[in-house]
Amino acid sequence: MRTAPPTWTHGAMLSTVEMAMVAKQYEQTPCTWLWSDYDAHGPNLLSKLLNFLAGVEGYLPESMSQPNLIKALRPYGITDFAVVPSPMTITGLATVWSYVLELLEADATFSSFLVDENRPIHAAQEFIPIRAGLVRLRAALCRNSRSSEALFWLEQIGWGELLELADKRDHAGRELIAGRAFCAPEGGVAILPKDWCDHAAA
């Protein structure tokens, strides 16, 4: 389900060539990070959730032929959460799957900023913030009596932390669009140093 993309001022977003130039120029310089998929322990909670949901998307059509849920979704981090999602959790998510697809679409629009080349020409206009999608998903789970276990699971793994991470990632996306941030080779987003224009003009 495609939601109407918000309107941003996005004329100053760096090109992929400029992104590469900045990354090379400052590869040895400490930068202020706006976003990374990782924390000190590995993928952060939002990254783990999105990876897991992407795995569930592929699992659901094949669930009858893959009865071992843990085995099928282990490559997508099902056992990486503090509370491992149960079959009933996945059933609950499936009842509101259109909202899950919104999250995955929002994830794809942010990921399009991070490609080294062949960035979609309208990537900035198509950016979908992910926090609003999380809130809509939770509201849909609250409305559906069959999804109570999925709702409880989101609370158990850290709903507040998910929202905080979503805010950070959405902010990083907006800063990229405004031309005030760049993508590092390792996949994070950092603030564009103030002296970049001087280096670019040199």
Residue 2 included in any domain: no
Instruction: Name the residue range of residue 68's domain.
Output: 16-201
Beta carbons within 10 angstroms of residue 15's beta carbon: 10
Q: How confident is the model at residue 6 (pLDDT cuts 50, 70, 90)?
A: very low
Cβ pair 112, 123 in contact under 8 A = yes
Residues of the chain with pLDDT > 90, as a percent, come to 63
Residue 184 included in any domain: yes
* Run of H or E including 131: helix 130-143
pLDDT at 177 > cutoff 90: yes
pLDDT by residue (tens digit) across 140-163? Answer: 999 999 999 999 999 999 999 999
| SS3 state of residue 122 | coil
pLDDT by residue (tens digit) across 27-66? Answer: 777 889 999 999 989 999 999 999 999 999 998 887 756 7
Q: Which residue has the tokens 């950092």?
A: 190
pLDDT at 193 > cutoff 70: yes
Q: How confident is the model at residue 9 (pLDDT cuts 50, 70, 90)?
A: very low
pTM of the predicted structure, to 2 decimals: 0.87
pLDDT by residue (tens digit) across 58-115? Answer: 988 877 567 788 999 999 999 999 999 999 999 999 999 999 999 999 999 999 888 7
Residue 1 included in any domain: no
Q: How many domains does the chain have?
A: 1
Beta carbons within 10 angstroms of residue 136's beta carbon: 17
Residue 132 included in any domain: yes
Residue 6 included in any domain: no
Q: What length is written for the chain?
A: 202
pLDDT by residue (tens digit) across 111-124? Answer: 988 876 778 778 88
Residue 4 included in any domain: no
pLDDT at 187 > cutoff 80: no
Residue 30 included in any domain: yes
Q: How far apart (Å, rounded) are the C-alpha atoms in residues 154 and 162?
A: 9
Residue 5 included in any domain: no
DSSP 12: T
